[in-house]
Amino acid sequence: MKYEVTYSCGHEGVVQLYGKESERKRKIEWYESCGLCPECYKAHTREEEAKLVKDIESKFDLPQLVGTPKQIEWAVKIRAKYLAKYLARIPEVIEDCKLFVEALSDPQKLAERAAEMEITPDELKERMTAFLDQMDKLPSYDYERLVYLFMTTDSAKFIIDNRHWAE
Ligand SMILES: [Zn+2]
């Protein structure tokens, strides 16, 4: 059955409903009290995505992505979704990778980390490089490696190709 409804955003639309009458009535009530029309729902989703991207990019020093403008726009969202997922589920993996990325790109941080571990910066760098070499041999579903790659790659294509990991 088709019903005309006024969504909670104030816009009107037609919805197709099935099932028992009581269920249909409940659905209509839901549309009118908290449902958004398709346009407003899309705008809401875009807003949420933009917020997430901003939040994640303020937490990490992520590389500027390379690709077509369309690829970049898409990949930036996937990257944010992916990192947010691990930030919630396995914060220490994210934290380890963050320290790792920082230390490899900043001699000052490398020296600090080495001092914490009571080894020389060169030794630390050697260990990190060995770890990275090893990571290449790990299966692609290994999330530590993927988190690291998502944080360091500048390839929009790589992120898009691996978008299923962000689901
Ligand atoms: Zn609306």
Tell me, in angstroms, the distance from the centre of ligand 1 to residue 49's CA: 18
Measure CA of the first residue to CA of the last residue in the chain; give whole Å. 33
Tell me, in angstroms, the distance from the centre of ligand 1 to residue 35's CA: 9
pLDDT band at 94 (very low <50, low <70, confident <90, very high): confident
Residue ranges covered by each domain of the chain: 1-36, 45-166
pLDDT tens, 96-129? 788 777 887 788 888 888 898 899 988 888 887 7
Dig out the tokens for 56 from the structure: 């994640």
pLDDT band at 138 (very low <50, low <70, confident <90, very high): low
**Percent of the chain scoring above 70 in pLDDT:** 93
User: Which pLDDT does position 80 carry in this prediction?
Assistant: 96
Residue 61 DSSP class = -
Tell me, in angstroms, the distance from the centre of ligand 1 to residue 111's CA: 55
Tell me, in angstroms, the distance from the centre of ligand 1 to residue 12's CA: 8
Quote the CA–CA distance of 75 and 67 in Å, as a whole number.
Answer: 9
Tell me, in angstroms, the distance from the centre of ligand 1 to residue 5's CA: 11
Q: Is the pLDDT of residue 156 over 70?
A: yes
Residues 129-151, mean pLDDT to the nearest whole number: 70
- 8 Å CB contact between 47 and 20: no
Q: Is the pLDDT of residue 134 over 60?
A: yes
User: Which pLDDT does position 116 carry in this prediction?
Assistant: 86
Q: Is the pLDDT of residue 139 over 60?
A: no
- 8 Å CB contact between 86 and 166: no
